[in-house]
A and B are shown apart, each in its own frame.
Chain A
């Protein structure tokens, strides 16, 4: 279940590791800045998290037709994300089983087969090795070929269109991993009875910062007003005044967390704001009525009236805000992260709604938006700043403070989105998974 306040016995939550210090009696929560700098920590994350957990690969609607494929790297491994000729979504290592050559060199496309250019071995998109030049040089072709098919990523599972993979064959089922984050994911998917689809056009960008800074930033409602002041001012000129009133942070199971808020902007399709223009007003009301007829008033109210930023441990951020977006984090080094971001939309919405959605979300989010570049500035400035205190002999100097809200929460008040409870939830899970005690 979602926890909105600390457990009754808060001292149970104390921890004092090399990376995380938590002490509810003293209202202390600190993160050692080595976690952002250290190549050794980065290596532990690769081994203990990225090679073990479910990782978001992509959305099935990125591959609408049998034979569609895209290249995509996860955990530093080049992959092929494929819808095979039998309409099954698959993930293969993008390396020829023969000698390890990158097999698929097109970024994306449609093909029944993949042929390695080096020695012309040919593989069906269903994985079988179907052609070897001069096959008679090997033991009888069938038995040899059976061992040399495309190497699949050990586990692939699809949750309502969201495709995840794991490099660990013994990972628990995806639904058990998603656990109570499913409800928030469902709220996003239920914008349409036909589910979601990815809008073409991917934001691909690199940030000079540790991946965990991007998670902290997304779970941090505290930064919105100061960091995005120019966006807040822009909204004001369009007739919308932002508010942080009533926002909440929830720590979920398995490292997931979510902030739930309203008042940062309207929500295309479900909550009108002046910027959307008068014609969108009636459309929006009608759409909310149809969601209520489908799912009931209470669920429709949650879908329509609150925005949510959901973090799915370890590599996925889902934005259910002015529009819908998925952001995938691919750590490259301790101080560099590749980001891939897709805009999602209710399948089958009208052309006017689609155009408005693209315009509105694009004004805020992404490397060219009026807000995301300031977040990127924040990650990069933290990354540049945390070297200042490395090896500082004074106690507590090389530590970042994440205690905001502990005082209120100790009095039994709910965790606010403008405090740091969501970030603390993330760090606790990180510490269990990667910290000194983790194996």
Chain B
């Protein structure tokens, strides 16, 4: 995302509203509703901490879900047999430093910083990083075309699982 201009089809406030509503859905584990925020064909990506800028088809990733695998992830997380998240972690997502880029044929590039606290079993783990999303305008407003979370952590430590949505 080169030049970040204030001019965009959507204002920063509209994009922030979208991201804040999304964060609330995830923190409340309303995953079916969350999945409707993706347009068909969308992806969800989390690169490894040692290759934060890697392209998914040539690098091992933590998460590289296409629209179908993301549906499977949602279905799994709703199951009582998703042991890593049953019972669910408590999470709290703080999303800030939102920047909206120039829309192109690929969509609207959005960058933001996140800090997610994950609380479970007496541990408070924090996951800090940046979002590099590509949004698109859909019937009901904004939708994810690409949802990409890039961790600033060097290692997933001490909380060694991305069983929740980053």
Contact = CB atoms under 8 A, between A and B. Distances in A.
Contacts of B64: 358-359, 362
A88 interface: no
Interface string B100-129: 000000000000000000000101000000
With a 10 A CB-CB cut-off, give which of B62, B85, B158, B160 has the most chain A CB atoms. Answer: B160
Which of A204, A336, A359, A378: most chain B Cβ within 10 A?
Answer: A204
B69 interface: yes
Contacts of B57: 351, 354-355, 358
A199 B48 CA distance: 12
B72 A237 contact: yes
A233 B82 CA distance: 11
Interface residues of B, number: 40
A160 to B, nearest CB: 21
Contact of B73 (A339, A370, A380): A370
A373 B161 contact: yes
Interface residues of A, number: 44
A351 B57 CA distance: 8
Interface stretch (A120-128, A178-186, A205-213, A242-250): A205-213
Max chain B C-beta neighbours (<10 A), residue from A207, A237, A370:
A370
A113 B49 CA distance: 26
Nearest to A344: B60
B9 interface: no
B121 A380 contact: yes
A384 B73 CA distance: 27
B60 A374 contact: no
Contacts of B81: 229-230, 233
B15 interface: no
Interface string B139-158: 00000000000000011111
B48 A204 contact: yes
A206 B155 contact: yes
B7 interface: no
Interface of A: 107-108, 199-208, 227, 229-231, 233-234, 237, 336, 338-339, 342-343, 351, 354-355, 358-359, 361-363, 366-368, 370, 372-374, 376-378, 380, 384
6 contacts: A107-B154, A201-B47, A204-B156, A358-B57, A370-B76, A373-B85
Given A108-B50, A384-B121, 5 more contacts: A201-B54, A206-B158, A358-B59, A358-B64, A373-B162
